[in-house]
Amino acid sequence: MKTTHVKRAFKYRFYPTDAQAAELSRTFGCVRKVYNLALAARTQAWTLRQERVNYNATSAMLTAWKKTEGLAYLGEVSSVPLQQALRHLQAAFTSFFGKRAQYPRFKSRKKSRKSAEYTTSAFRFDDGKLTLAKMADPLDIVWSRALPEGATPSTVTVSQDAAGRWYVSLLVEDPGVKPLPVTDTAVGIDAGLDHLLTLSTGEKITNPRHERRDRARLAKTQRELSRKAKGDGANRAKARRKVARIHARIADRRHDTLHKITTRLVRENQTIVIEDLTVRNLLKNGTLSRAISDAAWGEFRSMLEYKAQWYGREVIAVDRWFPSSKLCSACGTLQDKMPLNVRTWTCDCGIIHDRDVNAANNLLAAGLAVSACGAGVRPQRESSRTGQSAMKQEPLRHEP
């Protein structure tokens, strides 16, 4: 019986030559153009004729576009990233029709992520050297960590971030990712701002507030950018990169912190119970939106879920309307009100509660009850890559 390993992306920074950078920049532009052309064609077909255009039809359109005088330049780059762009658009429409995402949007030259995906027919990987189609020399990759022994990439994604840094991501099967030994430990987690996370064990994880550390420097560079005239191309671009580099540094620190925390939680606990927070709605709070965005609760949940899937753990998301903060974890008494400024409170039964620890304990109890009887949980969010649930099954949440 063939063993199926987890597919995992390994991301590395690389330094392209001028010729490679120019080729990749052309490819990024062509990928964006093809995506937008196909999206416009599909939208027009539906608007005018109520006709659904699929991937095969847009692939035929791509062949025709390359033969026109205005779009002949599409044939100068590798065709594989262009076909992959059409597949990504098909996946976006599938998610839209499945009511899992909004209608696909056009890619912006200034704001959209610059990336191109190559499949096995468009790259060569030999002895740790990666050479892409249309390129004579391999990429100068900084191998910051080793790939799994004997691993061969199935897809390669090249990207450039707003700070101008180049990255290559290799998707490989990782035989080292296996379910961990089953334990009987479970933990409830309450997300917050004073403390990033509070565990039902009583442990509180400090909120690093990564954005606050660079706020003064970020504000200075943003003021410098605002003073550059919009027509001043080179100087404005330079100022924009300075701002982007600070944002990138903040994001890097945040990712590092979340990876360490989620890996530890998954390794130590068989069952992890969290609250089903709607971060998008919470960000509408003008007073707290900056702090909530910096805490990255959505990213924390995403990391926790895919790592739990990798290692055979269970993540339970308790209904967002569950009154975890107002409920006494000792006697079950429900308080009428619990303002955010109340950090400790005394129940009628005489127990003095730390607000966050009490909430974490209530989430744990509710999560374990949900696991047993199957009620009050939101369906597991789907993977953007596979469209499949990250967990085998999770009961539906009851709407209020």
Residue 301 buriedness (CB in 10 A; 0-12 / 13-18 / 19+)? buried
Do 104 and 38 form a contact (C-beta atoms < 8 A)? no
Contacts of 144 (CB under 8 A, 6+ apart): 12, 13
DSSP-based three-state secondary structure for 287: coil
**CA 292, CA 255: separation in Å to the nearest integer?**
15
Do 221 and 244 form a contact (C-beta atoms < 8 A)? no
**CA 153, CA 147: separation in Å to the nearest integer?**
10
225 phi and psi angles, rounded to 5 deg: -65, -40
**CA 247, CA 222: separation in Å to the nearest integer?**
11
Give the torsion through C-alpha atoms of 36, 42, 48, 49, to 10 deg: 170
- Tell me how far apart the terminal alpha carbons of the chain are, to the nearest angstrom: 47
Residues with a catalytic annotation lie at 190, 275, 356
Q: What's the token pair of residue 98? A: 């499945």
Considering only CA atoms, give the Rg of the chain: 24
DSSP secondary structure string for all residues of 369-390: HHHHH--SBPPPPBPTTT-SBS
